[in-house]
Structure 1
Amino acid sequence: MTAQLLTPFARTPAADNSVWYMGHLFSFLADAADTRGQFSAMEILVRRGGEPPMHVHHAEDEAFYVLGGRFTFHVGDQVLPAPTGTLAFLPKDVPHGFVCHEETGRLLCLHAPGGAEQEFRDMGSPATAMTLGPMPQEEPDPGLMERMAARYHYEIVGPPPGATGRPE
């Protein structure tokens, strides 16, 4: 049996590989299918105030490289300042979240192994422009969020770091 060779590619953020999710722009640069499941990569244009709740991934490690802006990552008991040019590693099974300190910021997000990117495809809507998306008018359906958490092996463990009164 011979191993299936991966196909080389180069991909940039574009409307045909991007979605709007919770007001942010997610551009899929490498899906798990592209890498035989080894990793996935997304560029995310982040809107301040729309950061995710504290959560725990049980199936993959996550890393963020700050392409633009200034962030703080909360990982377990650690508070990690992350200006442009910083890589933050968030191991699986450790609660984490982040705060964006500017109106917008840009992140390169990596998951290893890949697969977690599919949630954003499932929950997002196709981006019609390479800009921030519309902010949701209401909170996400709790039942849908529970089903997504179960499908993608994570759990929500608290509000976003900036909402908890924790230092940013």
Structure 2
Amino acid sequence: MTINRDGLLVEQGQGHSYWFGQDLYIFKAVGEDTGEAYALCEVVVAPQGGTPPHRHSRENESFYVQEGEIEFQLDERTLVATAGTFLHSPKGQLHRFTNTTAVPVKMLVWVTPAGFDKFIAEVGKAVNGQVTSASPLSPEDLDKILTTAPKYGIEIIPPPPEQA
């Protein structure tokens, strides 16, 4: 595919939107728009939302925090990123993010090359019409995520078994 030579305009409130757990992913550019060079999405991370530890074998992932504060793990380092912070996680790096606050966090996520957009489209729940809150992940949703992730080169690190 080639990049759209007429450019790309996606206005506020537009884009391909999916619930991924309780977080809202709004894709402003998907691989189809960029010749598979990158995907860009705005993510609204719900209080206590975020991702489990994971790594991408195909994509680099960059984050720009627009509003709020969010905890990130990059390999063994854990830090709190506030509005205006930029983070980059190269492919292969273990990372996660968690909203430990009581208010939603908004950030841009840039993935190079594209591909992650297809994962979210496959396992997320498409938003059709008005955006309302999402329901928590069901066991079936979680199973779908865990079984689909390897297809996209994503390794999700399961939590350690609970100790009695």
Shift in alpha-carbon separation, 1:69–1:27, aligned structure 2, 3 A: same
| Partner of residue 39, structure 1 | 38
Tell me which amino acid in the other structure corresponds to 1:155.
E
- Whole-Å Cα distance in 2 between the matches of residues 5 and 110 of structure 1? 17
- Whole-Å Cα distance in 2 between the matches of residues 152 and 28 of structure 1? 17
Tell me which amino acid in the other structure corresponds to 2:52.
P
Secondary structure, aligned partner of 2:32: helix
Q: Please list, as runs of the form range in 1=range in 2, the aligned pairs for 1:135-154 lying within 5 A after superposition.
A: 135-136=135-136, 138-141=138-141, 143-154=143-154
| Partner of residue 162, structure 2 | none
The superposition leaves residues 49-79 of structure 1 with CA deviations (integer Å, 9 ceiling, x where unpaired) of: 2221100111000011001010121000122
| Partner of residue 100, structure 1 | 99
| Partner of residue 157, structure 1 | 157
Shift in alpha-carbon separation, 1:93–1:9, aligned structure 2, 3 A: same
The superposition leaves residues 35-57 of structure 1 with CA deviations (integer Å, 9 ceiling, x where unpaired) of: 11111000011102222110011
Tell me which amino acid in the other structure corresponds to 1:117.
D
Gaps of 5+ in 1: 160-168
In the alignment, which of 4, 7, 13 is matched to residue 6 of structure 1? 4
Contact 1:13 1:29 (C-alpha < 8 Å) held by counterparts: no
| Partner of residue 63, structure 1 | 62
Of 46-55 and 3-12, more deviation after overlay is shown by 3-12
Q: CA deviation at 1:147?
A: 2.7
Shift in alpha-carbon separation, 1:83–1:56, aligned structure 2, 3 A: same
Shift in alpha-carbon separation, 1:93–1:16, aligned structure 2, 3 A: closer
Shift in alpha-carbon separation, 1:23–1:125, aligned structure 2, 3 A: same
Q: Please list, as runs of the form range in 1=range in 2, the aligned pairs for 1:125-140 lying within 5 A after superposition.
A: 125-127=125-127, 128-131=129-132, 133-136=133-136, 138-140=138-140
Of 20-29 and 135-144, more deviation after overlay is shown by 135-144
Runs ≥4 residues deviating over 2 A? 3-7, 12-17, 128-131, 135-147
Q: CA deviation at 1:138?
A: 2.5
- Give the aligned CA root-mean-square deviation in angstroms: 2.3
- Whole-Å Cα distance in 2 between the matches of residues 152 and 121 of structure 1? 12
Identical aligned residues as a percent: 26
Corresponding residue pairs, total: 157
The TM-score with structure 2 as length reference comes to 0.84
